[in-house]
Amino acid sequence: MTARTTLHIGPDVELTVDEAGGSGRPVLVLHGGGGPATVAPIVEHFAPGHRVLVPVHPGWEGTTRPDRLGSVADLAQAYLGLLDERGLRDVLVLGSSFGGWVAAAMAVRDRGGLLGDLVLLDAIGPEITGHEISLPAPPPGRPGPPPAAIEAIRAYGGTAMADPALLGDLAQVRSRALVVWGEDDQVIGTGYGREYAAAFPDARFAVITGAGHLPQVQAPAATFAVIDEFLAAARG
């Protein structure tokens, strides 16, 4: 059972948050351009033994993006505020695509030790020479992200859809990281993912065969096997 709540972070930031599970280690799941539906398999996987929070990024699903949230850094700070307000620590953060960018930005800015392990699934974010994001047309009969979502991504990520400082900033991240990549990702390839992972002080990189940009949807069994193995090792 998933419950949706509306929370106020500061004077002018309203967050819509879906919550599932209810006990166990807290898990924050951050969706990409396709919205919360694209991370539903992650929620289903973790809800039985965890407290799972899935914010709807302001600007998606009819929510309002306030002017104060004008960058990925702003959004990351808002989510750190959410975790702090809820009194959550050792939070497992999983981010898909654009959500992975937000997750990485949170890890860079986490000064209070709120985050535990970090899992990035085909995440965008850092500017890496020789690798550019491509937004292919959706397959026939399948809709792509709605125009409002594309507009919101551009508002947060800018026209370049990359942060030139992020790759270097990852050196200060204290969380263990797992960077998962679909072998057939047409948005941005595995070479980008490998360099992304290498920028963390402590990270593992894993390729999922038979998957594209959404491995949690396209190859869930293989994806969650890799994630579960990583988490088991990380917890000792």
Its pTM stands at 0.94
Q: Has residue 138 got a pLDDT over 70?
A: no
In the chain, pLDDT over 70 holds for what percent of residues? 94
Edge-to-edge strand ranges of the sheet holding 26-30: 3-9, 13-21, 51-56, 26-30, 91-96, 115-121, 177-182, 203-208
Instruction: Give, for 28, the enclosing helix (H) or strand (E).
Output: strand 26-30
pLDDT of residue 13: 84
Q: What is the DSSP letter of 236?
A: -
CA distance 197 to 202: 8
CA distance 43 to 171: 29
Average pLDDT score, the chain: 92
Mean pLDDT of 190-202: 98
Q: Has residue 142 got a pLDDT over 90?
A: no
Q: Has residue 128 got a pLDDT over 60?
A: yes
Assess contact for 107 and 127: CB atoms under 8 A: no
pLDDT of residue 143: 55
Mean pLDDT of 97-104: 97
pLDDT of residue 148: 80
pLDDT in tens, 44-71: 999 999 999 999 999 999 999 998 899 9
Two tokens at 37?
């539906």
Nearest by Cα to 170 from 228, 108, 232: 108
Q: Has residue 233 got a pLDDT over 70?
A: yes
Q: Has residue 94 got a pLDDT over 60?
A: yes
pLDDT of residue 136: 58
pLDDT in tens, 2-27: 788 888 877 788 899 999 998 899 99
Q: Has residue 145 got a pLDDT over 80?
A: no
Mean pLDDT of 109-120: 96
pLDDT of residue 133: 86
Two tokens at 106?
């949170």
pLDDT of residue 1: 59
Two tokens at 193?
């993912």
Q: pLDDT: is 148 or 78 the higher one?
A: 78
Mean pLDDT of 191-219: 97
| Burial profile 170-193: b = 16 or more Cβ within 10 angstroms, e = fewer | beebebbbbbbbbebbebbbbebb
Q: Has residue 125 got a pLDDT over 60?
A: yes
The set of residues, in sequence order, having a beta carbon less than 8 Å from that of 216 and lying 6+ positions away, is 38, 39, 41, 42, 96, 121, 223, 224
One-letter identity of residue 75: L
Mean pLDDT of 119-141: 83
